[in-house]
Amino acid sequence: MATKKAGGSSRNGRDSAGRRLGTKKSDGQYVISGNIIVRQRGTKIYPGENVGIGRDHTLFALVKGKVKFSSKGGHKIVNVALVA
């Protein structure tokens, strides 16, 4: 016979891996077509000139150029300026 009651098991101790979201290219960096600029959930930052938006709201470069972050009307916007 046991002299101690069995201890309960904890139901904690799990955590999901980070999603690796955020800015992947900073202001002034050069990008080529298809480069991911921002990974995000929802449109925290909006696409501007020469920037496309994916199904999961990822912003990516449509052309080769220089990344430029700005704000317009209370929205953050990212553009890619063409480089000659």
Centre a 10 Å sphere on the Cβ of residue 51 and count the other Cβ atoms it contains: 23
Judged against a pLDDT cut of 90, whether residue 6 lies above it is answered with no
pLDDT at 5 (0 to 100): 79
**CATH number of the domain encompassing residue 56:** 2.40.50.100
> Is 51 contained in some domain?
yes
> Is 70 contained in some domain?
yes
In this predicted model, which residue has the larger pLDDT, 1 or 67?
Answer: 67
Q: Could you read off the pLDDT of 13-29 as tens digits, one per residue?
A: 999 999 999 999 999 99
Q: How far is CA 58 from CA 6, 11, 14, 23, 48, in A?
A: 50, 35, 28, 10, 13
> Is 77 contained in some domain?
yes
CB 45 within 8 A of CB 76: yes
- Mean pLDDT across the chain: 94
Beta bridge partners, 53, equal 59
pLDDT at 67 (0 to 100): 98
Q: Could you read off the pLDDT of 39-50 as tens digits, one per residue?
A: 999 999 999 999
